[in-house]
């Protein structure tokens, strides 16, 4: 489903250039759960951003279901990100004064949808065990509840791929493991391809496959 061919990414700052990724080749199957591991600054986030269409490589090709992202214009990339990809971040990025339910429904405001999003939001609330918190403001939630809200929000447009960047980084170990197990269950239930970046080895072991990256180079996959 996801194929990266000879992907390199350089960042420039003044006269200096930094290699964030160097000749990365990865294949991820449909429905697979993959963890990308590596130390801070190793290129994990850059890799996720390229898969998610948030950034483009300096060199190489990214194929999603045999389609080269390079051939998409800005509008097509925007639709791809909103409909095909669900994003989960370490910082949650919820609207603090909106209810849990309204936060979950936010992505549906930016593109057309073919399913009853109101009914689906209720189903997702049940799946992430937040039905009783539906009308609570996001700022009133615990860290684990915020991340469960973010997970439901990522699923509302029925994406084929979920990308999670350090989704347990702001959570304690037990809550973090509970979040990853929830993601695993939702991955199986919804038939989603799940790609997470984490520096936590215990969290990574819950994945089906681990891709380890150091200094922008894939060391193990």
Taking only the tens place, the pLDDT of each residue in 181-205 is 999 999 999 999 999 999 888 889 9
State how far the Cα of 119 lies from the Cα of 8, in Å rounded to an integer: 42
* 67-125 confidence digits (pLDDT tens): 888 888 888 888 888 888 999 998 999 999 999 999 999 988 876 666 788 999 999 99
State how far the Cα of 68 lies from the Cα of 198, in Å rounded to an integer: 27
- What is the span of the domain harbouring residue 182? 29-45+81-220
- Write down the pTM of the prediction: 0.91
148: domain CATH number?
A: 3.40.50.300
CA neighbor of 58 nearest in space, from 26, 14, 11, 15: 11
> Side-chain half-sphere of 192: how many Cα atoms within 13 Å?
28
Please count the structural domains in the chain.
Answer: 1
124 domain-assigned: yes
């Amino acid at each position: 489903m996801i194929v990266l061919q000879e992907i390199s990414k350089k960042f420039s700052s003044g006269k200096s250039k930094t290699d964030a990724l160097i000749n990365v080749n990865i294949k991820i199957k449909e429905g697979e759960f993959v963890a990308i591991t590596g130390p801070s600054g190793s290129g994990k986030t850059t890799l996720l951003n390229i898969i998610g269409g948030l950034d483009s490589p300096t060199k190489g090709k990214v194929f999603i279901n045999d389609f080269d992202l390079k051939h998409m214009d800005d509008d097509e990339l925007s639709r791809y990100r909103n409909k095909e990809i669900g994003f989960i971040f370490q910082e949650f990025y919820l609207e603090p004064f909106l209810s849990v339910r309204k936060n979950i429904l936010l992505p549906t405001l930016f593109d057309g949808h073919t399913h009853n999003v109101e009914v689906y939001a209720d189903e997702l609330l049940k799946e992430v065990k937040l039905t009783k918190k539906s009308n609570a403001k996001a700022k009133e939630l615990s860290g684990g509840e915020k991340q469960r809200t973010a997970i439901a929000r990522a699923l509302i447009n029925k994406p084929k791929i979920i990308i999670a960047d350090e989704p347990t980084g702001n959570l304690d170990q037990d809550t973090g493991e509970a979040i990853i197990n929830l993601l695993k269950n939702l991955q199986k239930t919804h038939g989603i391809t799940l790609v997470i970046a984490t520096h936590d080895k215990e969290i990574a072991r819950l994945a089906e496959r681990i891709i380890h990256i150091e200094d922008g180079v894939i060391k193990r996959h």
